Amino acid sequence: MRNVTSETITKAFLDYCSDDTDPRLMFIIERLANHLHDFVRETNLTHEEWQKGLELLMAAGNISTPERNEFILFSDVLGLSSLVDMVNSAENGTPSSVLGPFHILGAPDVPVGADLKGGNEGTTVVVGGRVTTSQGAPIEGAELEIWQTADNGLYSNQDEAQPEYNLRAHMTTAADGRYLFSTVRPAPYTVPDDGPVGELLNSTGRHPWRPSHLHFIVTAPGHRSLVTEVFPSDDPYLDEDPVFGVREQLVMDYQKREDPSDLPDDLEAKAELKSPFYVVDFDFVLADASTS
C-alpha cells in the first residue's frame, strides 16, 4: 500500500504479514497493532512524548543485568504482570500472584516443621496449613518453594550480610497435605526505584512500597502449579501495592500467641519459641491440571 494514512496504517501493517503466520501469533500481533495504533490516534502522541517513551525503554535496557530486569519491573508496575496472572488464574484454586525477581533455584530441602529463622533477627512466626485439591482432599508430596525478606526488607540475594539461601526453603507435604515452618515476619520493601521505573512511579505520584509477604510456588503432579504470595491483613501498604499483587483470598492474619504447647510436635523450634510469637494458618488449593 502506498497511500498509507493514519486510518489505513493498521490494515497496511496486517496486510504485510504472511498468511501462513502461526494463527495465535497473528491474533496477538493483530490485537497489539490495533491497540497501539489506537493509543497513538487517541492521545495524538507528539514526537517529544514518543521520544520520552523510547528513552525510558532505552534506560530500561541499560540498567538491566542478569540479576535485574527492568522490563519485568515495568510490566509489574503497569499492572501487566498481574493482569496476565489474573486471566490465567485457575477459578477453583488459590489465586496466583506475581513471582517477582528474587526467587532463586536450589533452596535447601527441609522437612515439615523446619525452622528457617535460625539466627535471623525479628518477630517469630509459625506458618502452616495444608495443600489440598479443589475438593478439599489433602495432597501428599506437594512441593513448596518458600522465599521471603529478612527483617530488614531485603532478600538474601540483595544483601551480602545474609547467607545465599537465608529464609528460603523447599518442603514436601506429608500424607495429610500439611506444611509447617517457623520463620521471621517479613518486612515491607520498595521495588527497585533507582531506574526508569522509579522515574515513572515518581512522575505519577506513586510510591514504591510493597506490602510484606511470603512467596510460595506450590506444585503437585496432576495439578496446576501455583505461584503466589500471602499478605498480612495489618500491612499499611495492603491497598496500594505498586505491582497489584494483593487478592482478598491471599490475605492472612498474624495471630498473636503466648503458649506454644498446642503447636504440632514436629515444629523443630517448638521448645525454643519465645513468647509472644505469631501463627499464620494458610491453606493452598491446587486446581486440577485439566481445569482452566
Sheet of 168-172: strand order equals 109-110, 168-172, 143-147, 214-219, 226-232, 251-252
Distances (CA, A) of 278 to 107, 153, 189, 233, 260: 24, 18, 21, 13, 10
Site for ligand BEZ in 36-75 (CB under 6 A): 73
Asked if residue 151 lies in contact with residue 162, where contact means CB atoms within 8 angstroms, the answer is no
Selected range binding Fe ion among 62-70, 100-108, 116-124, 276-284, rule: CB under 5 A: 100-108
Asked if 93 touches Fe ion (CB under 5 A), the answer is no
Contact pick of 93, 95, 100, 211 for Fe ion (by CB under 5 A): 100
Residue least distant from ligand BEZ (Cβ) = 100
Contact pick of 126, 184, 243, 286 for ligand BEZ (by CB under 6 A): 243
| Nearest-approach distance from CB 73 to ligand BEZ, in angstroms | 6
Asked if 237 touches ligand BEZ (CB under 6 A), the answer is no
Asked if 208 touches Fe ion (CB under 5 A), the answer is no
- Beta carbon nearer to Fe ion, 55 or 240: 240
- Beta carbon nearer to Fe ion, 63 or 99: 99
- Beta carbon nearer to ligand BEZ, 101 or 177: 101
Take residue 85 and report the three cell numbers written for it: 496472572
- Beta carbon nearer to Fe ion, 100 or 113: 100
- Beta carbon nearer to ligand BEZ, 185 or 210: 210
Which of 216, 206, 262, 269 is CA-nearest to residue 237? 206
Contact pick of 60, 75, 82, 100 for ligand BEZ (by CB under 6 A): 100
CA angle in degrees (0–180, nearest 5) for 279-191-163: 60
Site for ligand BEZ in 199-228 (CB under 6 A): 210
Asked if 191 touches ligand BEZ (CB under 6 A), the answer is yes
- Cα–Cα dist 69/63, whole Å: 8
- β-pairing verdict for 168-172 and 109-110: parallel
Phi, psi for 201 (deg, rounded to 5): -60, -50
- Cα–Cα dist 163/171, whole Å: 19
Interacting residue ranges for ligand BEZ, rule: CB under 6 A:
73, 76, 98, 100-102, 191, 210, 243
